[in-house]
Amino acid sequence: MKHVLITGAGRGLGLALTELALAKGAVVFATVRKMNAQISDLQQLYSDQLIILQFDVRDEAAIEQAAKKLTQKEKHLDVMINNAALLNERNKTIEELDINASLEAIDINTFGPIRMIKHFLPLLRKGTNPSIINISSDSGRLTKTYVHDYPYGLSKLALNMLTEKLNIYLRDDHIQVLSVHPGWMHTDMGGQQAPIDPNEAAKGIYQLIDQRITVSEGCQFVDYEGNIMDI
């Protein structure tokens, strides 16, 4: 039985990943900033499998406390999916950009995963074929970039660099570390016109975890179907 930790589990891709992991029989530690009807319904339906961790990924003290509590109760984690993210300042030019808002996005999208890995890594090291999945974006590429989405693009590019560094650092621990582009999804973030159902992306991401793909050349950056993404 896998032990899976998913951040930003209350909606969109995070909720789809949580539902899928629970259906597959995993014990899921789902982080949310606020409870909502969907995650509450899941908690009732999977009372023996779903543990809600309520905190903001910007709050390191809360993350550290949650990790300590989990360490006391659980022996390991097998998977961490860093999914929580903020997309803001979308159509701003560089002249219009709100720096404080941009810092907020980088704090959540890049430093959020850093905080999570920092405090939960001891549990992952005890897992079976453990994986860290950083949910990235094709916005986080130096090639084929575009104007606008400055905070999001910068934060996801930095997240991809984090993945590369962790892949080297954790190689001897046999922990798989991947950045995954989930595609343009039909979520609050992606919008109504997006073509990909988050449940489809969730299935692909979960398959990457189960199969433990090997990226022998280039960066550890793939799409949800396992195709290598260029940086």
Output the CA angle 204-207-209, nearest 5 degrees.
Answer: 120
Compute the distance between CA of residue 28 and CA of residue 6 in angstroms, rounded to an integer.
7
DSSP letters along 46-81, please? TTTTEEEEE--TT-HHHHHHHHHHHHHH-S--SEEE
All domains of the chain, ordered by start, with CATH?
A: 55-223 (3.40.50.720)
Residue 149 CB coordination number (10 Å): 21
Q: Which of 57, 160, 66 is nearest to 105 (CA)?
A: 57
Give the per-residue pLDDT at 194. Answer: 55
Q: How many whole angstroms separate alpha carbon 35 and alpha carbon 13?
A: 16
User: How much is the pLDDT for 230?
Assistant: 87
Mean pLDDT, the chain cut into blocks of 10 residues (231 residues total): 97 97 98 97 97 98 97 92 97 97 98 98 97 96 90 97 97 96 74 78 95 79 93 84
Tokens 């990924």 sit on residue: 57
Let me know: does 141 contact 157? Beta carbons within 8 Å: yes
Amino acid, single-letter form, for residue 190:
G
pLDDT computed for residue 231 by the predictor: 84
pLDDT of residue 170: 97
Beta strands in 46-205 (DSSP E): 50-54, 79-82, 131-135, 176-181
> Exposed (0-12), middle (13-18) or buried (19+): which is 6, by Cβ within 10 Å?
buried
pLDDT of 186 = 59
Closest CA to 163 of 140, 185, 129: 140
pTM score: 0.95
Q: Other CB atoms closer than 10 Å to residue 38's CB: what's the count? A: 14
